[in-house]
Structure 1
Amino acid sequence: MALTILVDDWQMQCCGDAFAPGGVVSRTLLEADPEDYADVVGSERADEIDFCEEHHGQDEGHALTSAEVVSIVEVHCRYGVPPGATDKVNYPVPRTTVLAPVEKGDGWAKARPGVRFAGYLVTAVVAHRGGELR
């Protein structure tokens, strides 16, 4: 079964291991709500996201999934304070997504003008999930 996984930049930079197409990774995956990622990856690609990777506490009770990486796409977008906001917090700016296929994911990406690295969209084929083969 093929699936699409969103891997946030900070998850990889904190405690992720580098990965590449053809490699098998073992990750804790949480079901993703595509609406949560539409501004980061674009609404069309957000609809493809099945799971997000989790390293930091929300993964309790979730089994590891082993999967072979098929492809990796870097996700970049612009961040800014929304018009009229009073909290001065930066959010992804809709329709500014830049996607770039890459040969490995290590949590760090080459800077691109006008956008910031946000993470990866990883296509993978499940080999083993939570005690049972898929």
Structure 2
Amino acid sequence: MTVTIWIDGRRMECCGESFGAGEVVAWQLVGAGAEDHADVVGGRRAAEIDFREERHGGAGEEAVARVKVVEVEEVHCRYAFPPGDTSDGRRAVPGTTEFVPVSGADRWVEERPGLEFVGYLVTAEPVAG
């Protein structure tokens, strides 16, 4: 059985913890709903996400899980201010997301023209114990 985990790109920038396929890691995980990341990865891929890694609270110690990383994908998309939006926040532009398979994740992601690095989708297997 595998699970899909969302790793926010900002977590990598601030914490710099790298991981790669085949490694066993211990992450604090919280459940993710299909709507949580649909704006960035699209509805179909968002429905695949079981958990998100939580670094700054919001989950109890019991939520720490050991998993073996099977696959890693970088997620990149374009952000823009929606037409007529008067807020100060940019939004992910639907249909611009690119998924890039990589062997591992670290603090340094190769830039993709016109896109911003957003995070990682990690396929993993739970490890007992």
TM-score of the pair, normalised by structure 2? 0.93
Match of 1:15 in 2: 15
Distance 2:100 2:30 in 1: 24
Distance 1:49 1:96 in 2: 19
C-alpha RMSD over aligned residues: 1.3
Change (3 A) 1:87 1:62: farther
Q: CA deviation at 1:16?
A: 4.5
Checking the alignment, whether the CA contact within 8 Å between 1:39 and 1:95 is kept in structure 2 is no
Match of 1:112 in 2: 112
Equivalent position amino acid for 1:72 in 2: V
Q: Provide the identity percentage.
A: 48
Pairing 1:1-134 to 2, within 5 Å after superposition: 1-128=1-128, 133=129
Distance 1:58 1:87 in 2: 27
Helix, strand or coil for the counterpart of 2:107?
A: coil
Structure 1 runs not aligned, ≥5 long: none
Checking the alignment, whether the CA contact within 8 Å between 1:29 and 1:62 is kept in structure 2 is no
Runs of 4+ in 1 over 2 A off after TM superposition: 59-63
More off after superposition, 23-32 vs 102-111 = 102-111
Q: CA deviation at 1:63?
A: 2.4
Helix, strand or coil for the counterpart of 1:6?
A: strand
Structure 2 runs not aligned, ≥5 long: none
Q: CA deviation at 1:62?
A: 4.2
Equivalent position amino acid for 2:88 in 1: K
Q: CA deviation at 1:93?
A: 1.2
Matched length: 129
Helix, strand or coil for the counterpart of 2:36?
A: helix
Helix, strand or coil for the counterpart of 2:118?
A: strand
